[in-house]
Amino acid sequence: MSSPVLASAVRRIFIDKQSPDAYRALVQTSEAVRSVAAGAGLDRTLVELVNLRVSQINGCAYCLHVHTRAALHVNETTQRLGVLAAWRDTELFTPVERAALALAEATTELVDASVQEAAYTDAREVLTDDQISAVIWVAVTINAFNRVSIMSKHPVRPER
């Protein structure tokens, strides 16, 4: 049995660099999903909120870094970013954003069937079929990127 300290000292392989063809395919999937989301009428701010919330749940520091910058670039506010983990406890998010966040959480956590059904039912009230599909695809895709970065231990370095 190895100790957690020793296990964390093992050099990680950046799997995106080790298997670039697979990573490029994931990037292409992400680009297709972004296009699907835009075609479904989901703005980039909502997509970045979903990316951030899923990355919060998964604890992916690298993706949180990347998507916080992306959200700020599309004019998301620091107030909303600061409370995103507790979005249910604020009035800062629209019904569409709330439905998308709940659906993304259900997709990420694979919660019990009743919670998943409730999230899906709520989403059906405010999102179109295309939007529901797009939100789920955004969540699935960022989950994949989270796993790549977490398992590779992609570093987050201080900005200059």
| Average pLDDT value for residue range 86-98 | 98
The residue extents of the domains of the chain are 19-152
Element (H, E) at 65: helix 61-73
Q: Model confidence at 8, in pLDDT bands (50, 70, 90)?
A: low
Task: Find the mean pLDDT for residues 12-36.
Answer: 97
Largest CA distance in the chain: 51
Q: How far lies 63's CA from each of 29, 66, 150, 156, in Å?
A: 16, 5, 9, 9
The confidence score (pLDDT) of residue 49 equals: 98
- Among 30, 38, 36, CA closest to 67: 30
pLDDT (0 to 100) of residue 58: 98
Question: 20 Cβ partners below 8 Å, 6+ apart?
Answer: none
CATH homologous superfamily for the domain 19-152: AhpD-like (1.20.1290.10)
pLDDT digits (tens, 9 = 90+) for 109-142: 988 899 999 999 999 999 999 999 999 999 999 9
> What angle, 0 to 180 degrees and rounded to 10, lies between the N-to-C axes of helices 61-73 and 44-58?
160
pTM: 0.92
pLDDT in tens, 29-40: 999 999 999 999
CA–CA distance, 1 with 134 (Å, rounded to integer): 43
